[in-house]
Structures are given as C-alpha cells and as structure tokens.
Amino acid sequence: MRAALPAIDAARLWRRTLALAEIGALPAGGVNRQALSDADIAAWRQMLQWGAEAGLEPACDLAGNLFLTLPGRDRTAAPVLAGSHLDSQPTGGKFDGAAGVMAALEAAATLAASPLPRARDLTVVAWMNEEGSRFAPGMMGSEAFAGVRSLAAIRAVRDAAGCSVADALDRLLATFPALPRRPLGPPAAAFLELHIEQGPLLEAAATQIGVVTGIQGKYTYEVEITGAEGHAGTLDMAERRDALAAFTRMAAQLYAQVGGADAIVKFTIGRLLVAPNAPSVVPARVTFRIDLRHPDAATLARLGARCEAICTEQAAQQAAPCAVAVTRLVDAPPNDFDVGLRTRIAAAAAGRGLSSMPILSAAGHDARHLATMCPTAMIFIPCRDGVSHAEHEYTSPEQLAAGTQVLSDVLAPLLATTSLEDPAP
C-alpha cells in the first residue's frame, strides 16, 4: 500500500453542484448559462467564494478564463491544470461542463486540506465559452489559452443580438476589477478534465469510469446554395433554379454516401435556412451546416472531400443549375490523449475498486486544445440514457463522486513532484 490518498467530500461536491445549477436554472430542471452573461458572472462570483473558502488564489486572463490556484512549494514550476467550463447550452443540463469544474474544485479543496506534499501549483480552471451557443464557434477560452485562435479574432465574434465578445468580455472583466490578471497561456505541466460521457456506452457497460482515449475528429462545413426566386404558380418546373430542390439532391447523397460510410461515422445536417421561405415562392437560397465526425484522420479527410464533391456535383445536376459555395468552418483533427495520464486514471480507478474502460469521446472538449500544449487526459462519468444538451441530463451523486475521487487521486501524485515521469501508484 502507498501513502493514503485523501477522500473527497462527496456531500459537499453534490451540494455545490446543485447550488451552481441554481444559477441560470430553467423550469424543467435544466440550466441556461450563456457565456459572458449575467448568469456566467454570477457563477464566477460563486466560484470565487468557494475558492476563497479552500484558500485558492483567484485570477483570470483576458480571454475570460477563470483560475483558482492551490499553491505548491515551487511557484515557478509549471502548474497542473484541471477543470472544464461553466457555460451551458440554451436548454442544457446541470452537469455538462459544470461537473468538471466542480470536480476540480473539490479535488483542490480536498488536497488543500490534506497533509500530502505539493511540489507545484494545482490550478482549477473554467474555460470561457465552450458551448458556443451564444458566440459561435465555442471553445474560445481554451483556444485562446493554447494559441489555437487569436484573442483578436475571438473578440470580433458577435452574438445574434449583435453584441461582440469584446464588449461582453470587457463587461465581465470590469465586474471583477480586483481579480488579478494572468498572461494568456502560461506553461502547463498537464491538464485533466472530468466530463459526463454525453453518450450511452458507460451506462450500457455498467462501468463507472471512462478513460478517454481521444476525441474524434470533426469537420464543420457551411454550404450555401444559390438559385433564383420564382412564383410557385407560374414558373415551369424545368426552368426553376430551386435551391431547396438542389439541397434535397445533395442531402440524399450525403446521408447515403457519407452518413452510411461505416458504423462509426457521425454525419449531421443540424442547421438549415431557406430564403425567402415563403410558401408560394420557389426558394432562392438554402444555407446549411454539415457536422462530420470520425476518429480516424484519414477517413475523416476522405469523407470531408466526398461531402465537398457531392455538393458541387448535385448543384450542377439540374436543367437550370444552382451555384454552390462550400466553406469548411471547423477542421479539428482526431487526437489521442496522453498514454501516461490514461494509465494513471485507470490505475486510480482500480485503486478505489471502481470499474473503468477505455472510451472515445464523440464530442469535442476544451481538452482537445490543451492537448496541443501539454500532456492531457479526460475522465468520463456515465450520464443517464446517454442524454446531454437537454434539461433532463443527469448523473448521480455516486457517479460524480467516483469520477471526482479518481481525479483527485490522479492529481495528488502529479503535484508531489515537478516531473511527470514520477511513477504513478
């Protein structure tokens, strides 16, 4: 047996998680906490209070990331980071994002109160705007931190009401004038993120801990089809440049060839707008988004190219063809998480008598971007019926506590030394 690792306070963790869910609470039990909103600011206030109770040092950066640091002996050594995000989908649940932040806070509070030596800092982090519901696309905080996207580009993004990230971010920062500012993207020794699975696999396998192997790759395309408006009662079918008819041809091929490519691919057309969208007018323009995901980089690239080819081919296949423009908005290659950290997570689970299994993340997470700068891994916990991005999203107090205990147990030895090479249990 090794030196005893401290037990987290499962009751405190659950109480705080429910308290956080009161901020932006929705009638049906869910949460609407948009990035940089009043609710987001209220969540910061709550986090700062809990951080102070645990003796954590608060800070933020100019990208709107919130940090709560448990100091270690060597303040110059790269810290270990753990956390997730506080923002939610418009009709989101209590756990997507919040669970990871609360787990990291609980682990920090647990380790702060323990006699275990800490050679370096542990920093709890809440990344700004992971969801991208208000300001799209999301993962802004982690992208700015990792240098994947410039802060200037992020600040220029506007929400549907025309409000810029710049204005919303400056308002957030002005609300906390005394909060110390950190430079963007300091060195990080490692990053760990706990998250609900957002899928049914752990529940189906009755397994408590998912050791995330990586995140599947994702392409997002915006496709704009331009035809010509016409009177639904008078314009001959053969003369129509009907953008919705062109969409139908494209989509039929896309669902068949790309959506049916193999058993793993995920192909979604989730957003589609028709103009002028009047019942008696032949549609002049259709704009839609393709969300394509696959864990294999080569397959993803091949299917992405197929999407582009299908859109171009099908737009032309009409007596009076439509114009088409295909733009790739997101190109997120698949990534593999750090093998050393994955081994530590599996071992920590075993050390607590918890079942674990390797699992691929189908959804994107901030950890994707951290993985470009430091050893990174994720811990998944089950969620009921695999449901997420919905008000009835749920994970149990026991499941959340199990994942948080594993997180704490992985963090403890990482903090004990300033080298990641130190052997795990």
Q: Which residues bind a copy of itself (CB under 8 A)?
A: 133, 136, 197-200, 216, 218, 220, 229, 231-238, 242, 244-245, 248-249, 251-252, 255, 259-260, 263, 265-274, 277-283, 289, 291, 293, 362-364, 386, 388-390
Closest distance of CB 212 from a copy of itself, Å: 13
| Cβ 232 to a copy of itself shortest distance, Å | 4
Torsion-angle region of residue 42: left (phi > 0), alpha (psi -120 to 50) or beta? alpha
CB of 284 to a copy of itself, least distance (A): 10
Within 8 A by CB and 6+ apart from 65, the residues are 125, 126, 127, 128, 141, 142, 144, 145
Q: For residues 49 and 268, which CB has a smaller minimum distance to a copy of itself in the complex?
A: 268
Residue 245 near residue 282 (C-beta atoms within 8 A) = no
Q: Report in angstroms how near the CB of residue 176 gets to a copy of itself at its nearest.
A: 31
**DSSP letter for each residue of 219-262:** EEEEEEEE---EETTTS-GGG---HHHHHHHHHHHIIIIITTS-
CB of 50 or CB of 221, closer to a copy of itself: 221
For residue 168, count other CB atoms closer than 10 A to its CB.
25
Q: How many CB atoms lie within 10 A of CB 411?
A: 27
Nearer to a copy of itself, 181 or 271 (CB): 271
By beta-carbon proximity to a copy of itself, the closer residue of 172 and 244 is 244
For residue 386, the minimal CB distance to a copy of itself (Å) is 7
Closer CB to a copy of itself, 163 or 235, in the complex = 235
Residue with Cβ nearer a copy of itself (216 or 405): 216
Q: CA 40, CA 250: separation in Å to the nearest integer?
A: 40
The CA distance from 269 to 226, in Å, is 18
Smallest separation (angstroms) from a copy of itself to the CB of 272: 5
Contact 184, 331 (CB under 8 A): no
